[in-house]
Amino acid sequence: MIDLYTWTTPNGRKVSILLEELGVPYTVHAIDIGKDDQFAPEFLKISPNNKIPAIVDREADLALMESGAIMLYLGQKYGRFISQGDDYWSMMEWLMWQMGGFGPMLGQAHHFLKFNKGTSDYAEARYGKEAARLYSVLDTRLEGRSYVAGDYSIADMAIFPWAARFEWQEINLNDFPNVREWYLRIANRPAAQRGYQVPKFVTGIPMP
């Protein structure tokens, strides 16, 4: 049994989407970051960096933080959604792209374009431009491809929840037709829809 500690953020949704796609049993523990639940001593024992998501695998007696590490662990544990052969390193490449660029830069876009609009013209221009550049990179990658690394994999699941907030980033998906088709392809997956609603899907907590 997997215990998932999460909240309604793109990083949290990566792991719940994967768990729903895997179809394995898991228990959700909502960590309300708006109420500083992430700083509770009990949670810090699981996630010393006070960030969600985190998991505890009761079978393996293992606690793990960092969404990318968690996705690699779960994919390997259950033997699914890990690209094979030459696609393995492409999957790793695009997973790291999300972890090192797409997520952090879009997070800054959210901060300045969604939540603090008007506080810094420089920051809005900087992160708006970088968001568009990253979408262009992804659009180019998806030319002639259904997914970023062969078959549907954890790399797609990691990227998708960040792309799902395209409006927060002032991005028009019609400007990136390959991304738009990829986005709709994943958004129409029932497991992705369920995973995106966690913890609301399990706990009834309102989702922003």
Q: Map residue 94 onto helix, strand or coil.
A: helix
d(CA 118, CA 124): 8
d(CA 206, CA 31): 13
Burial code of 6-36, b = ≥16 C-beta within 10 A, e = fewer?
bbbbbbbbbbbbbbbbbeeebebbbbebeee
Question: Which of 170, 175, 164 minimizes the C-alpha distance to 126?
Answer: 170
Give ranges for CATH 3.40.30.10 in the chain.
Answer: 2-81+192-203
Region 2-81+192-203: CATH code:
3.40.30.10
pLDDT band at 200 (very low <50, low <70, confident <90, very high): confident
Q: Which amino acid is at 135?
A: Y
CA of residue 39 relative to chain centroid, distance: 21
Question: Which of 147, 15, 21 minimizes the C-alpha distance to 73?
Answer: 15
Q: Lowest-pLDDT range, 125-129, 192-196, 198-202?
A: 198-202
d(CA 124, CA 106): 11
Does residue 117 contact residue 176 with C-beta atoms inside 8 Å?
no
Per-residue pLDDT tens for 81-139?
999 999 999 999 999 999 999 999 999 999 999 999 999 999 999 999 999 999 999 99
Does residue 196 contact residue 13 with C-beta atoms inside 8 Å?
yes
Per-residue pLDDT tens for 40-93?
999 999 999 999 999 999 999 999 999 999 999 999 999 999 999 999 999 999
d(CA 2, CA 24): 8
Identify the pLDDT of residue 203.
53
d(CA 88, CA 84): 5
Give ranges for CATH 1.20.1050.10 in the chain.
Answer: 87-189
Which residues share a beta bridge with 56?
3, 63
Classified by CATH at the fold level, domain 87-189 comes out as Glutathione S-transferase Yfyf (Class Pi); Chain A, domain 2 (1.20.1050)
**Beta strands, E only, 45-160:** 54-57, 62-65
pLDDT band at 204 (very low <50, low <70, confident <90, very high): very low
| pLDDT at 208 exceeding the cut of 50 | no
CB atoms within 10 A of CB 53: 25
| pLDDT at 19 exceeding the cut of 90 | yes
d(CA 80, CA 22): 7
| pLDDT at 205 exceeding the cut of 80 | no
